[in-house]
Amino acid sequence: MLRAPVVDAIQDLMKFYRTFRGRLVIVLALLLMAMLGGQYALNLREQRENGRLREQREQALVAGITLGFSALQSTDRLTDFLEGEGRPFFDRSIRDRIRDIIIINPDWEVEDSLDPRLIPTTEGDVTLRKKLSDLTGLPPIMEGARLGDDFRRFPQTVTADGEAHAIPIETTQGRFYVLVILHDDREATAERAARPLIYTLAVLLASFAITFFLVWRFTRPISALSEAAARVASGDLDVRVGSSYRTDEMGELAKRFNEMTSELGRKQDLEAKLQEAERSAVLGRLGAAVAHEIRNPLNYITLSLDHLRESFPPESPEKKAEFDSIMRQLRLEVDRIEERVSELLDFARPRKPEFESVDIRDVIEDSMKMVEARATEAGIEIRISTDGVPSIKADREYLRSLFSNLFINAVKAMEPRGRGLLAVDVSAEEIGLVVAVCDDGPGIAESDIPRIFEPYFSVAKTGTGLGLAIAQRVVELHGGRISVESHPNHGATFRVVLPFDPERHGNGKGANA
């Protein structure tokens, strides 16, 4: 019966571990344990070092007392005990800690010492000894209170280096003192005192570095989300956050952010398509009104101009030339209006293409007739290369509209210069029929190239901006593609790729497909 609660508790614990908070708590707990463990190990090491030093100090003190006591029982000097063979009272490390051993007799005179300057000297039958009161530079007596009134007899210098231990020894001759002076280990003590601080500082620095790394690692997804949100705010809906692979809250947030941007992108595309559909609907209604309200008067104007030119020409040659020029200009303006109306109708209500076998050279030459006269007047040379190109299945009228728009744009671009070359190169490739329309006009600005095929976008002062949009739609209806390459002052090249048989490849579904 207890298995289910245990399993549930384990599952809850695993869920908590997978969260950002859980991992952060665990990392901080491990970091705290590492700090405490490291500090404990360092303190233990210092305690052992202090114990070892204390033991050496005690051994040196005991050895000094033993040496002094042995010297009292012998006629040998202290130095003899140190240098004599077979008398290893202490090793070198203990000897290095002892600065001096002084034996004081009951008359408070120096009876013996390791310092040769304090050893008694003999002059004839008289032995000269140093008075204890004459000694200078003796360090303070440690635990001197236990000596009673004798403590006052020891001259002490508080600022002297080292420490002194006075041990009274009662003999039949009176009370002797063994004064053991140890070297001062203040520097070693200061170093040992500073060492834990250095270790603690090192541990804190290591902890800070680890904490900084963990904080940077944990907050990096937040920074990435902030940058991505800024890019989305600026209009870039293609941005994605790369932390969605994580299993914690940050990964979940990144996943939701990516889903949000993807959904916003889809909504933006839908809105653009909806706006395009609404625009097309408006154009459809406008096109119907234009066809009814404008084309009928235009037809009447065209017929009237032809009738006037044929039936009422002036008799004077000079006036007849002026009359013909005016009639020709009026007819060009009417044709221009008719062309704009046709563009509007073709873009607003495209019909389903009717595919048939088409000789591309015939279509190109037929389309070129619309600009031949205009190109000749502007000094523009026309060159067409279509040798050895097979026929394709296409809608003839659509292709005529496609190439007419491309040729008209090319001539318009070169007209201001009064010269130029319009080259049309057709080739059969594996991807389909490729038609390159090149001109050496002023070219297209780099900033305008991404928008060149948008409806109503035009760099010219005149025109509706529908010519290239119609060209792109015709190409798409044939299952092909169109692109442009241009550099300022180096002309422009429009490259059209048309499949040989759009219906066989499932393309050419029509305007409403």
Range of the domain at 361: 352-513
**Which of 57-66, 283-292, 299-308 has the least mean pLDDT?**
283-292
- Please tell me whether residue 102 adopts helix, strand or coil conformation: strand
Tens of pLDDT, residue by residue over 22-51, are 777 777 787 778 778 877 887 788 788 878
Residue type, 14: M
Assigned domain for 331 exists: no
Q: How many domains, the chain?
A: 2
**Which of 32-41, 260-269, 377-386, 456-465 has the least mean pLDDT?**
456-465
pLDDT value, residue 510:
44
| pLDDT at residue 496 is higher than 90 | yes
Contact 161, 186 (CB under 8 A): yes
pLDDT value, residue 6:
62
Task: For residue 307, give Cα distances in angstroms to 186, 317, 325, 326.
Answer: 128, 19, 15, 14
Name residue, tokens 């490739």.
429
Tens of pLDDT, residue by residue over 81-92, are 766 555 555 667
pLDDT value, residue 350:
65
Residue 109 has what DSSP assignment?
Answer: B
CA distance 502 to 493: 24
Q: Classify residue 331 as exposed, middle or buried by CB count within 10 Å of its CB (0-12, 13-18, 19+).
A: middle
Residue 292 has what DSSP assignment?
Answer: I
CA distance 264 to 225: 16
CA distance 54 to 57: 5
Sign of torsion, CA 70 73 78 83?
negative
- Among residues 150, 184, 218, the one where a domain terminates is 184
Assigned domain for 11 exists: no
- Among residues 184, 207, 224, the one where a domain terminates is 184
| pLDDT at residue 482 is higher than 90 | yes
Residues in the chain: 513
Task: Answer with the residue of higher pLDDT: 301 or 14.
Answer: 301
pLDDT value, residue 512:
39
Residue 293 has what DSSP assignment?
Answer: I
| Helix extents (H) in 291-316 | 296-311
If you compute the radius of gyration of the chain from its CA atoms, what whole number of angstroms results?
55
Among 149-153, 274-278, 345-349, which range has the highest average pLDDT? 149-153
Enumerate the β-bridge partners of residue 493.
Answer: 438, 485
Q: What is the rounded average pLDDT for all residues in the chain?
A: 79
- Please tell me whether residue 198 adopts helix, strand or coil conformation: helix
Assigned domain for 194 exists: no
pLDDT value, residue 68:
82
Among 274-278, 285-289, 501-505, which range has the highest average pLDDT? 274-278
- Among residues 184, 202, 229, the one where a domain terminates is 184
CA distance 344 to 293: 14
pLDDT value, residue 286:
67
Assigned domain for 142 exists: yes
**What would the mean pLDDT of 378-396 be, rounded to a whole number?**
87
Task: Answer with the residue of higher pLDDT: 124 or 484.
Answer: 484
CATH code at position 501: 3.30.565.10
pLDDT value, residue 480:
92
Task: Answer with the residue of higher pLDDT: 21 or 31.
Answer: 31
Assigned domain for 230 exists: no
pLDDT value, residue 494:
93
Those residues with Cβ within 8 angstroms of residue 385's Cβ, 6 or more apart along the chain or in another chain: 423, 424, 425, 426
Assigned domain for 468 exists: yes
Assigned domain for 320 exists: no
For residue 424, which phi and psi values (nearest 5 degrees)?
-120, 120
Other CB atoms within a 10 A radius of the CB of residue 414 amount to 22
**What would the mean pLDDT of 467-481 be, rounded to a whole number?**
87
| pLDDT at residue 470 is higher than 70 | yes
Task: Answer with the residue of higher pLDDT: 339 or 12.
Answer: 339
Assigned domain for 304 exists: no
**What would the mean pLDDT of 322-333 be, rounded to a whole number?**
81
Q: How confident is the model at residue 287 (pLDDT cuts 50, 70, 90)?
A: low
**Which of 99-113, 160-174, 463-477 has the least mean pLDDT?**
463-477
pLDDT value, residue 70:
80
Tens of pLDDT, residue by residue over 147-192, are 888 888 888 887 777 888 888 988 888 889 888 888 876 666 667 6
Residue 305 CA from chain centroid, whole number: 71
CA distance 299 to 295: 6
CA distance 78 to 339: 131
Q: What is the CB-side half-sphere exposure of residue 209 using CA atoms within 13 A?
A: 5
| pLDDT at residue 13 is higher than 70 | no
Q: How confident is the model at residue 15 (pLDDT cuts 50, 70, 90)?
A: low
Enumerate the β-bridge partners of residue 489.
Answer: none
Those residues with Cβ within 8 angstroms of residue 440's Cβ, 6 or more apart along the chain or in another chain: 414, 420, 421, 490, 491
Q: How confident is the model at residue 245 (pLDDT cuts 50, 70, 90)?
A: low
Tens of pLDDT, residue by residue over 396-454, are 888 988 898 899 888 888 888 778 889 999 998 888 899 999 998 888 888 888 888 88
pLDDT value, residue 309:
78
pLDDT value, residue 505:
54
Residue 351 has what DSSP assignment?
Answer: P
| pLDDT at residue 513 is higher than 50 | no
Those residues with Cβ within 8 angstroms of residue 200's Cβ, 6 or more apart along the chain or in another chain: 39, 42
Enumerate the β-bridge partners of residue 438.
Answer: 423, 493
**What would the mean pLDDT of 258-274 be, rounded to a whole number?**
83
With pLDDT > 90 as the criterion, what percentage of the chain qualifies? 5
